[in-house]
Chains A and B, each alone.
Chain A
Amino acid sequence: MTFKVDFIKHHRLWFILSAIFTVVALFGIFVRGLNYGIDFTGGTQFQLKFSHSITVAAVDRVLTDQHIGQSQVVFVGSAHREVQITTPTISEQQRNQVLAKMKAVAPFQEISTNRVSAVIGKQTERAALIAVLIATGAIILYIAIRFEFRFALAGIIALLLDVIMTVGAVALIHVVLTTYFIMAVLTIFGYSMNDRIIVFDRIRENLHKQRKNEPLQEVVNRSLNQVLMRSINTSTTVMLALGALLVFGGSTIRDFSLTMLIGVFIGTFTSLFIASPVWMLWRLRDDARRKASPRPVRAD
């Protein structure tokens, strides 16, 4: 099977499309806001498993009686037996009081308690951010040496879009952010870069084989069509695996898989439709400039 898709002709459409998505994503991030979990905000979270199904109202009443009414109570699973209670940071004594009173609702088992000061998540986030910035610099350097500088920047622009769109989607769906979210973004970062290199490698190879007078558009289009099969196969495979983790994995890895799934999809899209056209337009512009101002003739 060979493809003949014209990726380049409609590049304006792809750019507009991703601009819209980026705006929506930025709206998600800044207006709707990220749903920071206690890893970032600090607080106490515990999960209880009751002996029979209960109502959120009953749990809420106990919490309000203990003056921690601003807590969140959500069910885990479908049986309405397991609840996750998120409260602001409370002392151990307060927590024990709450648990003692909670026995009135129904007998329960304590499954997990997570108590975090806001410092931890923020620091993980900052350390990861600094590491990513340095890694980005290193990647730009590597691609500039092995390929050319324009590839490096086109790749990083597309990478930035990936991250913004993924984080935006996460904000819109309102997934609760834990430190695992940082891992998911890092993984997407790695996956997208990987995807981009494969595409760029093809363009680089075809540039060497470029016939005289063959327009650059042709070369890029041919390259993209050649890697299309591989792109589809690889992302389908990875998405199948992530889908399985999403559906069958436990609650702990569900949000992680969902974030990854969104990111892999977006990453595949931007590799094909954004990174390469950006590189091409840039290169065409540079070529046109070079032609317009020929090298000054040396007067000797």
Chain B
Amino acid sequence: MRQRSILALVALVAVLIVAGGYFSVINPITRHLKYGLDLRGGITATYQAEPTPQAPVNAQSMAKAMQILSFRVNKLGVSEPVIQEVGNSRIAVNLAGVKNPEQALRFLGQTALLQIKSPTGKVLVTGADLSSAEGEISQGQYVVALSFNSKGAVLFKQATTKYLGQQLPIYLNGKLVEAPKVDTIIPNGQAELSGGFATLKQAQQTALLLQSGALPVKLVVLASNTVSATLGHQAVVASKRAAAIAIALIALAMIFWYRLAGLLADIALGVYAFLLLGSLWAVHAVITIPGIAGIILSMGMAVDANVIIFSRVREEMVSGKTPRAAIEVGFRNAIRAIMDSNATTFISAIILFFMGSGDVKGFALTLMIGIVISLFTAVFLTRQFIRLAADAGWARVRAIFVG
């Protein structure tokens, strides 16, 4: 019994140390986690949709707006963009590593409504009937070559027939771009927009916007947060170092107070940390600063669970029980308190998760995951450790606890 316990304990600790070494040094688990833009650098923007004469803000127009934004974001060529609908009338866009964020935001939110009107102001053809738009150079000018689809081509033919010899003003986002005179009837739906583009790039961007289609609703930037990749990087480095120091301090304090039992709790805490990071990785959670707050709180609760257990065991020993009996009674008493305290925190976390907005949700999610894991490690793993240690007859276990 005794030798088997020693063996089991040593084997368990060895496996955990090897696994811990693998996940922290050889293939650090932190490298696989997804970090939020507040840590990594990038733009986070929230657009508010406002109704236009063409469309109210409803599920249909929002879906269309999302689709158009996705198209435009893809044209920006950023990796792993996030475009999410928030509530009923907002769209959040997360973009990593964009060079000129302000310009990108303006580009994304542009309405891109192309209208060709009659001299009296009646809308004849719109950008909705375009089949393609390309930025190019024509006769030494930067232009956008427009091709209408079959419906657009018919409309355009009718328009050029009716207003032959007159001017047909072209509006982009309600602003007059140019008003060319119709010289001939255009039957094939080909047209050119030469509204004084200064560079080819400008023409190309306008072409892209026209291709993506006009946003049915107006998008106003409600909030935008740009973090440079360097600041983001510094934040991650600083937080990692701070976290490492914090964990080391906790570990030392536990050993100082509870000796061997503290060391065993530290190992359990290490397992907790890896399981937590692993779960966050598994559910594809994005690590943001609020999320880290949730991790800190759950870590504090995991430490607390161990402290409560040891204090209880120590008390039972002081009152004269044998090590085994003290461990069993101490654990039973401790677990009731731990369960109640974790349950209340878990209840608040669930409510925060369902009621809170983005940041609060991230906080609540890590907190909930952390609580479940800390219950497992503190209650199950620490208990196994201490039992094995007692069976192994390192029993001056009493001395270990009572000090």
Q: Which A residues have a C-beta under 8 Å from some C-beta of B?
A: 2, 47, 92, 95-96, 109-117, 119-120, 123-124, 127-128, 130-132, 134-135, 138-139, 142-143, 146, 179-180, 182-184, 186-187, 189-191, 193-195, 197-198, 201-202, 205, 226-227, 229-230, 233-234, 236-238, 240-245, 247-253, 256, 260
Contact B245 A248 (CB under 8 A): yes
At the interface, yes or no: B184 with Cβ under 8 Å from chain A?
no
Contact A240 B253 (CB under 8 A): yes
Looking at the complex, which of B145-153, B161-169, B276-284, B348-356 is the stretch in contact with chain A? B348-356
Nearest CB of chain B from residue A258's CB, rounded to whole Å: 13
Nearest CB of chain A from residue B300's CB, rounded to whole Å: 4
Residues of B contacting A: mostly: helix
- Contact of A138 with B348 at beta-carbon distance under 8 Å, contacts A112-B225, A120-B46, A233-B307 already known: yes
Contact of A190 among B48, B221, B349, B357 (CB under 8 A): B349
Contact B293 A184 (CB under 8 A): yes
- Contact of A180 with B289 at beta-carbon distance under 8 Å, contacts A193-B344, A241-B299 already known: yes
Task: Report A-chain residues with C-beta under 8 Å of the C-beta of B297.
Answer: 187, 190-191
* A247 nearest in chain B by CB position: B242
- Contact of A134 with B360 at beta-carbon distance under 8 Å, contacts A142-B343, A253-B239 already known: no
- Contact of A134 with B355 at beta-carbon distance under 8 Å, contacts A120-B46, A139-B344 already known: yes
Task: Report A-chain residues with C-beta under 8 Å of the C-beta of B344.
Answer: 139, 142-143, 193-194, 197
Task: Report A-chain residues with C-beta under 8 Å of the C-beta of B292.
Answer: 253
* B402 nearest in chain A by CB position: A1
Nearest CB of chain A from residue B233's CB, rounded to whole Å: 10
Task: Report A-chain residues with C-beta under 8 Å of the C-beta of B343.
Answer: 142, 146
Task: Report B-chain residues with C-beta under 8 Å of the C-beta of A194.
Answer: 301, 304, 341-342, 344-345
Contact A135 B347 (CB under 8 A): yes
Q: Can you report 23 A-B residue pairs in the complex whose CB atoms are below 8 A from each other? A: A47-B231, A110-B228, A113-B225, A115-B221, A117-B222, A135-B347, A143-B344, A146-B340, A180-B293, A187-B293, A190-B348, A193-B344, A194-B344, A198-B304, A230-B311, A233-B307, A234-B303, A237-B254, A241-B246, A241-B250, A248-B238, A248-B241, A250-B235
CA–CA, A2 and B318, complex, Å: 10
Contact A193 B348 (CB under 8 A): yes
At the interface, yes or no: B393 with Cβ under 8 Å from chain A?
no
Contact B356 A115 (CB under 8 A): no
Contact A226 B253 (CB under 8 A): no
At the interface, yes or no: B224 with Cβ under 8 Å from chain A?
yes
What range describes how many residues of B lie at the interface? 35 or more
| The 9 nearest A-B residue pairs measured at CB | A250-B238, A131-B355, A244-B246, A241-B246, A248-B242, A201-B337, A249-B242, A135-B348, A197-B341
Contact B351 A138 (CB under 8 A): yes
* A112 nearest in chain B by CB position: B227
Contact A109 B333 (CB under 8 A): no
Contact of B348 among A189, A242, A247 (CB under 8 A): A189
Task: Report A-chain residues with C-beta under 8 Å of the C-beta of B254.
Answer: 237
CA–CA, A26 and B340, complex, Å: 32
Residues of A contacting B: mostly: helix
Contact B345 A240 (CB under 8 A): no
CA–CA, A92 and B239, complex, Å: 32
At the interface, yes or no: B199 with Cβ under 8 Å from chain A?
no
* A42 nearest in chain B by CB position: B223
Contact B303 A179 (CB under 8 A): no
At the interface, yes or no: B74 with Cβ under 8 Å from chain A?
no
Q: Restricting to B230-259, which residues have a CB under 8 Å from any CB of A?
A: 230-231, 234-235, 237-239, 241-243, 245-247, 249-250, 253-254, 257
Task: Report A-chain residues with C-beta under 8 Å of the C-beta of B377.
Answer: none
* A141 nearest in chain B by CB position: B347
Contact A183 B359 (CB under 8 A): yes
Task: Report B-chain residues with C-beta under 8 Å of the C-beta of A112.
Answer: 225-228, 231
CA–CA, A146 and B249, complex, Å: 35
Task: Report B-chain residues with C-beta under 8 Å of the C-beta of A184.
Answer: 293
Contact B243 A245 (CB under 8 A): yes
Contact A123 B352 (CB under 8 A): no
Query: Interface digits, B33-50 against A, CB 8 Å rule (1 contact, 0 not)?
Result: 000001000000010100
Task: Report B-chain residues with C-beta under 8 Å of the C-beta of A123.
Answer: 357
At the interface, yes or no: B336 with Cβ under 8 Å from chain A?
yes
Interface centre among A96, A138, A233, A251 (most CB of B within 10 A): A233
Contact B341 A198 (CB under 8 A): yes
- Contact of A237 with B303 at beta-carbon distance under 8 Å, contacts A183-B290, A190-B349 already known: yes
Nearest CB of chain A from residue B283's CB, rounded to whole Å: 20
Task: Report B-chain residues with C-beta under 8 Å of the C-beta of A253.
Answer: 235, 239, 242, 289, 292
Nearest CB of chain A from residue B271's CB, rounded to whole Å: 18
